[in-house]
Amino acid sequence: MKCLSNEKIIRYLEKSLNSVEYSLSRDHILSCEKCKDTLKNFEILESALEKPELKDPPIEIEKYVMGKLFPGFSHIASLITLIAASFMLLIAGIYIYFDFANDSMIQAFQLTKDQATSVISSAVKFVSVIFSGLFTIFKAINTLLEVILNVRIGTEVTGLIFAFILIMISYLIYNKVFLKIKDSRQN
């Protein structure tokens, strides 16, 4: 009998032949060393494809791919982080200086109107709007917690918990995304 084609050996391995063809192919494979070796090679290939061995790509390829996916991303991320941190420090400084928690808004507006430029006045108004909005949100969350869980923790504690959660999420995102990109570019 003539040797089996690769297609027929693959169909034999997959058991997609009819019963007569399967029997004839099996008998031939048992008697033919060449077809037996071909079948073993296909079995090895099949098992390798079912459970592939994962390997890390070479560093050069990883750098190239990351460079194509995120061109200049670390510089942009650093700049955005710097701007956000500066903005938060400005808001915190204005908040501490004018002590919005003790309702000294009138004093803050008078100081900015008489002694400062319109930029500072606008910043104070902006911070007061943000503070009032956040304080309202924290009051609503606190009320919701009180209704649902029958727990009264206070608006300030709710704000602190919210700030802590935001800081942790920011830290996790920074660690997972930006540091991996930075490390891959340095290697």
pTM: 0.33
pLDDT number for residue 107: 58
DSSP at 17: S
State the amino acid at position 16 in one-letter form: S
Structural contact between residues 69 and 92, judged by C-beta atoms closer than 8 angstroms: no
Q: 185: which residues sit within 8 A by CB, 6+ positions away?
A: 63, 66, 67, 74
Residue with tokens 């949100």: 137
What confidence tens digit (pLDDT) does each residue in 68-115 have? 776 665 666 667 777 877 777 776 666 666 555 555 555 555 555 555
More confident of the two residues 99 and 138:
138
